[in-house]
Amino acid sequence: MPEIIGRSAVTLARQVRRGDLTPTEVVDAHLDRIDAVDDQVNAFVTLNDDARAQAREATEAVEAGEPLGPLHGVPVAIKDLSNTAGLRTTLGSALLAENVPEEDAIVVRRLKDAGAVVIGKTNTPEFGRLSTVTRNRLFETTRNPWNTAKTTGGSSGGSAAAVAAGMVPLAQGSDAAGSVRTPAAACGVFGLMPDFGRVPHGNDRPDAFINTHPFSFLGPITRSVEDAALMLDVMAGPDDRDPFTRPAREESYRTALRDPVEDLRVAYSPDLGVCPLVDDVREAVDGLVDELRGTVATVDRVDPDLPGWEAAHEPLATLLQARYRGIYDAFREDQGVDILDRREEVTDEVVSRVEKSLELSAGDVRRAERRRTTVYDAVQDLFADYDLLVSATLSVPAFDIDSPPTAIDGESVHPVHGFTLTWPFNLTGNPTASVPAGRVDGLPVGLQVTGRRGGDDTVVAAGAACERLAPWDDAYPVDPR
């Protein structure tokens, strides 16, 4: 690999500040890396034509002795669901193929204000739809850098693949049912879903309340926990435009990297009682948990009192369906476009979800929230006795793009969420992360680490402990194929 590629964002930022590297050198190296490998991976859908010019300006700022932000000169990728001023934002839909926003999303503005150089936009399923394959009708399907026949997961698959393949050190993702953690696990990187409201959505209008149905998060996807903490320090913080915004933290998330873990009580449920695991994945996560057992106060095997898979998943499916009614209404009211009148331009799954959303009643949504409360209570009851809940992130390694599993160990599973253990925490709002836990047949496996509400610093501390026990930073798919 070129020398610059593979260095952490923390290292790059420090070397830029010291003058050991220039932002121009850093951005050029990553653009060259994109040019070398992205035709195999398809992580990026739009590159920023001004990235090199912005890097030169950042270099001049260093030379002039100007104040520098914590990410000065560091390349970052933005998921194509988040608005970027002057840079195409399509949401993976042909309906928005030429959409160029005038205003940055709050997280994008904060990253830019910290000195980061937005290098491009990463692929997502259309409207970030419920999918574990990052594909749409507008761009090529994103492929796993470890094996390009395999999926990256979704919906932040482009971001995770870009980080895994060394095309950027940092990428932004969003998560409504596992969309940060699923691709992080499939691609062997670290994906963090912080406390709900910690990173504000803010300028989501006209519906500022949509992100509670279910809880939808913005978070970092990185190679190291320290990089995620640095990125989260920049992204997090209150904004009054988000009705669920949280107060500012008194300390940096980077301080949590050094927090002691010796007194933590850990509950371990490999499958959360709702999702069968293949044996190799179970062995991989068992192995990392065994390592963790020697560093924390206790690790107990538990069976969360969750309802069965169908009963637990139904409220998520209903609430996601309601979001599609919001998408449909927004297109009609804001852009004069009826999605169903232009269904030939939209994926069949989106058409189906829109049609079903039109059948939902207010009673359907309220019943879903009541069933959601059962899931919420079961998870919070467990945290009365434990600081963390750990499980597998996915019950299978990355699968062939066109062949999602329909059965595991002879048990039939849902072809989208029957092998993910991420979505329950979008019903509850608990902070959670996917930590690399080794590889099975050359494909990454993730361990999901979940904390109490308000406990994302504990999740960061536990992720850092796992990284110290089983370092993964040198595991790069150098030549994707």
Residues carrying an active site annotation: 79, 155, 179
Distance CA 21, CA 317 (A): 48
CA 109 to chain centre: 19
Angle at 104 between CA 246 and CA 143, to 5 degrees: 95
459 Ramachandran zone, left/alpha/beta (phi>0; psi -120 to 50): alpha
**What is the Cα–Cα distance from 480 to 478, expressed in whole angstroms?**
6
Residue 220 forms beta bridges with which residues? 172
Q: How far is it, in rounded angstroms, from Cα 225 to Cα 223?
A: 7
Which of 418, 446, 411 has the alpha carbon at shortest distance from 312? 418
Structural contact between residues 173 and 182, judged by C-beta atoms closer than 8 angstroms? no
| Closest to 282 in 3D by CA, of 440, 100, 158 | 440
Q: d(Cα 160, Cα 222) in Å, to the nearest integer?
A: 8
Element (H, E) at 301: strand 298-301
What's the rounded Cα separation, in Å, for the pair 433 and 232? 13
- The Cα-based distances of 112 to 54, 72, 87, 115 in angstroms read 10, 9, 13, 5
Give the Cα separation of 451 and 460 in Å (integer). Answer: 9
Name the strand (E) or helix (H) holding 334. Answer: helix 309-335
Rounded to 5°, angle at Cα 146 from 141 and 152:
35
Q: How many helices (H) and strands (E) does the chain have?
A: 14, 13
Amino acid in the structure at residue 329: D
